[in-house]
Chains A and B, each alone.
Chain A
Amino acid sequence: MRLPPQPQERVNRERSLAFLFEGEPVQAFEGDTIASALFASGRRIFSRSFKYHRPRGLLCCSGHCPNCLVEVDGVPTVRACMEPARQGAQVKAQNVLGSLDRDLMSVVDKIGGPFLPVGFYYRTMMRPRRAWPLYERFLRSAAGLGRIDKHGKRTHRFDTEHRRAEVLVIGGGSSGLAAAHEAADAGRQVVLVDDGLAEVGPAPFEVLSPARAIGIYEGGLVPVDAGNVLYRFRAERIVVATGTIEQPLLFPGNDLVGVMLSGGARRLIDRWSLRPGERAVVLAAGGEAIAVDLRRAGTEIGRVFEIGDQAPKEIVARGRKGRLSSVAVDGEKVECDLLVMSGGRQPAYSLLAQAGARIEYDPARGIFVPRALPAGVEAAGSVTGERGPVVHPAPAYSGKGKCFVCICEDVTRKDVQRALAEGFDSIELAKRYTAVTMGPCQGRLCHLPSIRLFAGETGRGLGALGTTTARPPWAPVSLGLLAGRGHEPARRTSIHHRHEELGARMMWTGDWRRVHSYGDPAAEVRAVHEAVGVIDVSTLGKLLVRGPDAVAFLERLYPNRFADLRVGRVRYGVLGTDAGRIMDDGTIGRLAEEELYVTTTSTGAEVVFEWFQWWNAVWGFDVEVANLTGALAAVNVAGPRARELVGQLTSLDCSAEAFKYLDAKRAQVGGVPCLALRIGFVGELGYELHFPSSYGEYLWDTLLERGADLGIRPFGLEAQRILRLEKQHIIVGQDTDSESNTLDANMAWMVKLDKDDFVGKWALEHMHERGARERLVGFEMENGAVPAEGGQIVVDGRPAGRVTSARHSEALGKAIGLAWVPPELAEEGARIQIRVDGRLEQASVRLRPFYDPEGERVRS
């Protein structure tokens, strides 16, 4: 039933709507919240508590407490007192087994108390250990509040918007409004953020409402939750006018349905024209003023008790089925269905604390107040702690029954006493142990009372105890809003769409999208061995190093020698770290006396580029390094008929004599300017063509078209992995890890220890003297089983190495791979055991390439 229209009422009685609560229709007016409409319909129990499943009713009506959390249209843990009622909304109770009024889990409240003290899960359910999965399943199903659909999809659109403001005012109360007006009058660009509780009329500045500031981060970043949009504000000045939060009193039965904060009762009356109860007891400093408001709403006042330093001593609230029925104060029992309380008001300083303000206890006012605000951040109004009535309630009022310190986590006074007895006497430790302040209210209603209680129990002053750290989020925020839109940055080559059109299966390589295969990797391998294949290798890192010191620079970066690399020739190089470990690999082509073209692995381009720049800055060489990775596309045309194909497309003499293995030549291929490198990662005659990325599709199409008669087939990474494994060519990061070095990886031939210096030389010298600790070798399985990559090498029953790559080679008719083994086993034909699917299988070590060991095909 509604009261007659109230002066500040927010409902529009002309327009009604309906929503469903637990499947039953509920009538509401426009302007109602879900909570106000439910309260008007007669509902008093809104939720069940976290642990004990005690009935809970409206307490603050301002979005602070956890008592009205419901599920709305599939979104869990929505505060019903802040959520506008919407036509057709589906509202459900959460954390309930059975119904809201008859929750079967409430048995925990009746019998579970002694067995479920705070932190019980640290001590119980440990034995027998094999029963833990059972316990875990039970605990996980019983714990938590709302439920999310694990298979759910995005139902709401959430966006992020970056904003700037000269002055950002947080809080639209009288002080916030005054600050905003003052700044706007001074010609500043002002944005005011309000959670919707205040009445903000038309203003000469931008108002975001309802919206909540989530926190204040470094650099004055203030994320603001405006429902479906997360505004990330950067402001020159931040004015925090978040006001105060009314605090509850601690006494047995303080969580019963019908116990309300005075602000909550007043909001029900003023905004939604609802009578909070029929007969009330008021427990507050200045309680008479509250009683006047209640009488105006037609509530009978049973008794008003003033809260002060001396009295009362004992308060006990009693109820039936969780609903308040009477209050006894110092032995005086009063029948009532409403208890309106107020334990004073604590400044809502969290945002200021996050910004760097110092939080101090003010003994005169009995509250914590912000001091020493950082530059650019101001406090306005009651958040300063300098306004409002002074209240010094008892830490907790005595009496029999559960006295709740934290209604979010169901932490009782007894729990706090137990934590103290167990030695958790620091406020920060006790917070973590008891979970006080860690629930949905984030300490709004339990921070000050819990510190008061700790002080009371320990005899230490509140100032000495201090506060716990205030961390974002200050206001509850949905994960969807934080996650934003579901975009994942991906790099795609300029030929990417052609691969998709060919039905390629794509995979991630770092942040690149690459082709795994076009459906039949074995056929792709065959095409490269028998005819010609083409693979998109645009993802390779491509660096141009030029300048008078270009050769000297690379000589010092790589263990290889480049001084003798002739113009127009290419050399394989492995880049090492200061500690001699393998960092990356690729080819280095000398384009001119002072110009070298360096390729890197697909995932290593950025790191190698930065590595080059860093060393260049350290050494001060006269060298420029340009990263051309994205600017150039590249394809590798490989196979015995590759020469025929490339020869058709260029006037360049592609004969074996004119364009030799490891030559680098400039060529016009299909009319496109290219750098052609004769290299052979896949073990067949091959030309790696590098060219402007904008011609990617054109050249790809041209190669496939002209190669059709030659049996051309595009191939992907899977085929390339098989092909290179047949040649025992390593993949850095696959066959090596952060500890692998060039010597142990069988590439001692490229390490020139006679050079004056190079990065990692001292380490490689040491490793050379010390001898190998393990060796990277090829192996072939005796029974054809393909071991898993990462599989164990077993010697004398003990793990002695690991498989890094393994595949079945159709060309060889064998299962082959690479593995790290003890040095004594790195001999041709040595027999090793590899664990495959739990069984030990025999394999033989092979030190030379499995395929074309003399390299005749690749050099042809």
Chain B
Amino acid sequence: MNGFEFIDPGLARAENGFEPVQRSPLERALRDAPPEVRDLSLQVPEDFDRGLAGLQVTGERLLRRLTDLDLDALPATGMVAHVRATVLRDGDEFRIYFPQEYADHVAEVVLDAAAGLQ
């Protein structure tokens, strides 16, 4: 038995009447999200065990309401929406990766901050 094999979601198989379905931890929270907030959770690179949730956020001002990381010195790891996260930047788009169990909380903070900027 290999320790890491059994937790690889890629090993799930549809057979014998079972059809395993993965669900993003952000799926519900971002159902009505504005276009500047997108779910990346099921496409997190190299996150084979689904330990991380991912969000794409557009707009530097919105990021400034979420983190004290230096946005000109990304990628970096620090607190985002009170949760330890890694942030990557591509122009005005930011990708935020954080422990998936905080998904609802982070989504709540991000959407609230976005609403505050409307």
Interface residues of A (CB under 8 A from B): 157, 159-164, 232, 234, 485, 487-494, 496-497, 512, 538, 544, 546, 567-568, 591-592, 595, 597, 628-632, 649, 651, 666, 668, 670-675, 690-699, 702
**Known contacts A489-B102, A694-B23: A164-B116 contact under CB 8 Å:** no
Do residues A692 and B112 form an inter-chain contact, with CB atoms below 8 A?
no
Q: Which residue from A160, A494, A538 sits with its C-beta under 8 Å from B23?
A: A494
Q: Does B30 sit at the interface, judged by CB under 8 A?
A: no
Residue of A nearest to B62 (CB): A161
Do residues A631 and B112 form an inter-chain contact, with CB atoms below 8 A?
no
Question: Interface code B5-39, partner A: CB below 8 Å = 1, 0 otherwise?
Answer: 11111011111101111111100100000000000
Residue of B nearest to A627 (CB): B51
**Known contacts A159-B116, A698-B22: A568-B108 contact under CB 8 Å:** no
Residue of B nearest to A665 (CB): B1
For the complex with contacts A164-B70, A631-B100, A694-B22, 16 further pairs of A-B residues with Cβ separation under 8 Å are: A162-B65, A485-B112, A489-B83, A491-B105, A492-B105, A512-B101, A592-B1, A595-B3, A597-B3, A632-B7, A632-B49, A666-B1, A670-B18, A675-B7, A692-B12, A694-B25
Kindly state the separation between the CA atoms of A490 and B107 in the bound complex, as whole angstroms.
Answer: 12
**Known contacts A628-B7, A628-B49, A673-B6: A487-B23 contact under CB 8 Å:** no
Residues of A within 8 A of B1 (CB): 567-568, 591-592, 595, 666
Residue of A nearest to B11 (CB): A673
Name the distance in Å between A67's Cβ and chain B's nearest Cβ: 35
Do residues A631 and B49 form an inter-chain contact, with CB atoms below 8 A?
yes
Kindly state the separation between the CA atoms of A159 and B71 in the bound complex, as whole angstroms.
Answer: 19
**Known contacts A487-B108, A544-B3: A494-B100 contact under CB 8 Å:** yes
Q: Does B88 sit at the interface, judged by CB under 8 A?
A: no
Do residues A671 and B19 form an inter-chain contact, with CB atoms below 8 A?
yes
Residues of A within 8 A of B13 (CB): 668, 671
Do residues B70 and A489 form an inter-chain contact, with CB atoms below 8 A?
no
Do residues A487 and B18 form an inter-chain contact, with CB atoms below 8 A?
no
Do residues A491 and B101 form an inter-chain contact, with CB atoms below 8 A?
yes
**Known contacts A487-B108, A487-B109, A592-B1: A695-B22 contact under CB 8 Å:** yes
**Known contacts A492-B104, A631-B49, A694-B9: A671-B18 contact under CB 8 Å:** yes
**Known contacts A159-B65, A697-B23: A487-B82 contact under CB 8 Å:** yes
Residues of A within 8 A of B83 (CB): 489
Kindly state the separation between the CA atoms of A630 and B100 in the bound complex, as whole angstroms.
Answer: 6
Q: Which residue from B14, B49, B102 sits with its C-beta under 8 Å from A491?
A: B102
Do residues A494 and B25 form an inter-chain contact, with CB atoms below 8 A?
yes
Among A649, A693, A699, the one with the most B-chain Cβ atoms within 10 Å of its Cβ is A693
Question: Interface code B56-85, partner A: CB below 8 Å = 1, 0 otherwise?
Answer: 000001001101111110000000011100
**Known contacts A496-B104, A592-B3: A162-B68 contact under CB 8 Å:** yes
Q: Does B40 sit at the interface, judged by CB under 8 A?
A: no
Residues of B within 8 A of A692 (CB): 7-9, 12, 22, 49-50
Residues of A within 8 A of B4 (CB): 544
Q: Which residue from B16, B20, B25, B68 sits with its C-beta under 8 Å from A232?
A: B68
Q: Can you list 23 A-B pairs with a CB-CB distance of less than 8 A?
A: A162-B67, A162-B68, A164-B71, A487-B82, A489-B81, A489-B102, A491-B101, A492-B101, A497-B28, A546-B3, A591-B2, A591-B3, A631-B50, A649-B18, A651-B16, A670-B18, A671-B19, A672-B20, A673-B11, A690-B7, A692-B22, A693-B51, A694-B25
Q: Which residue from A489, A492, A697 sits with its C-beta under 8 Å from B82?
A: A489
Residues of A within 8 A of B109 (CB): 485, 487
Interface size on B, residues (CB 8 A): 52
Kindly state the separation between the CA atoms of A538 and B99 in the bound complex, as whole angstroms.
Answer: 14
Residues of B within 8 A of A234 (CB): 68
Do residues B112 and A487 form an inter-chain contact, with CB atoms below 8 A?
yes
Residues of B within 8 A of A544 (CB): 3-4
Do residues B100 and A698 form an inter-chain contact, with CB atoms below 8 A?
no
Question: Interface code B90-118, partner A: CB below 8 Å = 1, 0 otherwise?
Answer: 00000000011111110011001100100
Residues of A within 8 A of B28 (CB): 497
Residue of B nearest to A163 (CB): B64
Kindly state the separation between the CA atoms of A485 and B42 in the bound complex, as whole angstroms.
Answer: 29
Do residues A673 and B8 form an inter-chain contact, with CB atoms below 8 A?
yes
Residues of B within 8 A of A494 (CB): 23, 25, 100-101
Residues of A within 8 A of B6 (CB): 666, 673-675
Q: Which residue from A488, A492, A671, A698 sits with its C-beta under 8 Å from B103?
A: A492
Residues of A within 8 A of B50 (CB): 631, 692-694
Kindly state the separation between the CA atoms of A674 and B12 in the bound complex, as whole angstroms.
Answer: 9
Which A-B residue pairs are the 10 nearest by beta carbons? A631-B51, A671-B18, A595-B3, A673-B11, A631-B49, A694-B22, A162-B68, A491-B101, A694-B50, A692-B9
Residues of A within 8 A of B7 (CB): 628, 631-632, 673, 675, 690-692
Q: Which residue from B15, B24, B69, B104 sits with its C-beta under 8 Å from A694?
A: B24
Residue of A nearest to B109 (CB): A487
Residues of B within 8 A of A672 (CB): 12, 18, 20
Residue of B nearest to A674 (CB): B6
Kindly state the separation between the CA atoms of A674 and B112 in the bound complex, as whole angstroms.
Answer: 37
Residues of B within 8 A of A489 (CB): 81-83, 102, 105
Name the distance in Å between B57's Cβ and chain A's nearest Cβ: 14
Residue of B nearest to A538 (CB): B101
Residues of B within 8 A of A694 (CB): 9, 22-25, 42, 50, 100
Residues of A within 8 A of B23 (CB): 494, 694-698
Name the distance in Å between A601's Cβ and chain B's nearest Cβ: 16
Residues of B within 8 A of A493 (CB): 101
Q: Which residue from B12, B49, B71, B82 sits with its C-beta under 8 Å from A671?
A: B12
Residues of B within 8 A of A164 (CB): 70-72
Among B51, B71, B103, the one with the most A-chain Cβ atoms within 10 Å of its Cβ is B51
Kindly state the separation between the CA atoms of A595 and B5 in the bound complex, as whole angstroms.
Answer: 12
Residue of A nearest to B65 (CB): A161
Residues of A within 8 A of B9 (CB): 673, 692, 694-695
Kindly state the separation between the CA atoms of A702 and B14 in the bound complex, as whole angstroms.
Answer: 13
Among A234, A630, A675, the one with the most B-chain Cβ atoms within 10 Å of its Cβ is A630
Kindly state the separation between the CA atoms of A491 and B84 in the bound complex, as whole angstroms.
Answer: 12
Residue of B nearest to A594 (CB): B3
Name the distance in Å between A554's Cβ and chain B's nearest Cβ: 14
Kindly state the separation between the CA atoms of A159 and B112 in the bound complex, as whole angstroms.
Answer: 10
Name the distance in Å between A355's Cβ and chain B's nearest Cβ: 19
Do residues A161 and B64 form an inter-chain contact, with CB atoms below 8 A?
yes
Kindly state the separation between the CA atoms of A567 and B2 in the bound complex, as whole angstroms.
Answer: 11
Name the distance in Å between B72's Cβ and chain A's nearest Cβ: 8
Residue of B nearest to A231 (CB): B64
Among A595, A673, A690, the one with the most B-chain Cβ atoms within 10 Å of its Cβ is A673
Kindly state the separation between the CA atoms of A696 and B11 in the bound complex, as whole angstroms.
Answer: 15
Kindly state the separation between the CA atoms of A159 and B116 in the bound complex, as whole angstroms.
Answer: 7
Q: Which residue from B12, B70, B72, B99 sits with its C-beta under 8 Å from A695?
A: B12
Kindly state the separation between the CA atoms of A205 and B105 in the bound complex, as whole angstroms.
Answer: 36
Kindly state the separation between the CA atoms of A41 and B59 in the bound complex, as whole angstroms.
Answer: 47
Do residues B82 and A157 form an inter-chain contact, with CB atoms below 8 A?
no
Kindly state the separation between the CA atoms of A702 and B20 in the bound complex, as whole angstroms.
Answer: 9
